[in-house]
């Protein structure tokens, strides 16, 4: 299943609170959720967590689609063309949006995948170091980096979402992976970021990531469709 991530920011003049409310309560419900090919859909709204850095975006749309054919059909659907797409300028600075199609791998299962994982999530976007192939990057991410992350205190669920190979046939994508780390509360996340185990994670980033393209967002999930697929 394709796990699409859309990173978005508010249009000029709109506060982050207004942006979050419109996205979750208006756009997601009235427009995006009507696209029939979407199997699951969540809107992740940013939180201000000490130590998590200043995010470049104010939220993430997470969309799950069965395959490429369904994805193409969704972009050609009247619900998208005459609904969701036309509504975007009402709330989003669409010129700042970044889209990634990914294949997601579960490292720490946490709560069953078809149930809500409580708490908050830290999303880290990363680009591989220059000279490193994507195969080498993924190998390090799975075999070396992931075991370090699983030692971070308070971690309840952990996914790695690698940018799909098809994107590299078109152009070099802005990011090679999105890491998803769940914690039970913002306080627990803040403590985890200060831990020696997280220091080891950050040290490892220097070995395989271009740190100019390492970005973090602390978010809270708002499920619109799911987590059980429709």
Residue range 14-59, pLDDT digits in tens: 999 999 999 999 999 999 999 999 999 999 999 999 988 889 999 9
Q: What is the pTM of this model?
A: 0.95
Residue 11 has pLDDT above 90, yes or no: yes
Q: Which run of H or E residues covers position 127? A: none
pLDDT in tens, 115-136: 999 999 999 999 999 999 999 9
Gap between the Cα atoms of 132 and 145, Å rounded: 15
Does a structural domain hold residue 85? Answer: yes
Number of domains making up the chain: 1
176 in a structural domain: yes
The answer as to whether 230 is a domain residue is no
Number of Cβ within 10 Å of residue 162's Cβ equals 20
Tokens of 96: 């700042």
Residue 171 pLDDT greater than 90, yes or no: no
Cβ 151 vs Cβ 204: under 8 Å: no
Q: Is residue 70 part of a domain?
A: yes
CB 226 within 8 A of CB 42: yes
pLDDT score of 190 more than 90: yes
In 3D, which of 183, 131, 133 has the Cα closest to residue 158? 183
Q: Is the per-residue pLDDT at 61 higher than 90?
A: yes
Angle 148-157-139 (CA atoms, 0-180°, nearest 5)? 45
Phi, psi of 132 (to 5 degrees): -95, 130
Q: What are phi and psi of 54, to 5 degrees?
A: -95, 115
Residue 114 lies in a domain: yes
Q: Are 38 and 74 in contact (CB under 8 A)?
A: yes
- E strands, the chain, where? 2-8, 38-46, 59-65, 98-108, 120-126, 157-163, 177-183, 215-225
Q: Which domain holds residue 37?
A: 2-225
Q: CATH code at 94? A: 3.30.70.100
Does residue 9 lie within any of the structural domains? yes
Q: Is residue 133 part of a domain?
A: yes
Residue 198, in any domain of the structure: yes
Q: Residue 203 contacts by C-beta under 8 Å, 6 or more apart in sequence? A: none
């Amino acid at each position: 299943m394709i796990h699409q991530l859309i990173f978005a920011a508010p249009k000029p003049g709109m506060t982050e609170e207004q942006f979050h409310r419109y996205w979750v309560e208006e756009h997601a419900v009235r427009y995006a959720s009507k696209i029939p090919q979407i199997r699951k859909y969540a809107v992740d709204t940013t939180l201000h967590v000490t130590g998590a850095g200043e995010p470049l975006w104010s939220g993430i749309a997470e969309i799950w689609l069965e395959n490429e054919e369904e994805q193409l059909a969704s972009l050609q659907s009247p619900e998208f063309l005459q609904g969701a797409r036309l509504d975007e300028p009402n709330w989003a600075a669409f010129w700042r949006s970044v889209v990634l199609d990914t294949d997601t791998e579960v490292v720490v299962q946490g709560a069953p995948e078809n149930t809500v994982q409580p708490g908050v999530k830290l999303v880290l976007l990363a680009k591989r170091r220059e000279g490193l192939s994507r195969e080498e990057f993924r190998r390090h991410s799975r075999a070396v980096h992931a075991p370090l992350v699983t030692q971070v205190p308070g971690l309840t669920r952990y996914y790695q979402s690698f940018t799909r190979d098809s994107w590299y046939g078109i152009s070099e994508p802005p990011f090679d992976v999105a890491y998803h780390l769940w914690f039970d509360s913002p306080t627990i996340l803040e403590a985890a970021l200060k831990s020696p185990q997280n220091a080891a994670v950050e040290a490892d980033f220097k070995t395989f990531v271009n740190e100019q393209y390492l970005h973090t967002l602390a978010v809270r999930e708002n499920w619109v469709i799911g987590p059980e697929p429709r």
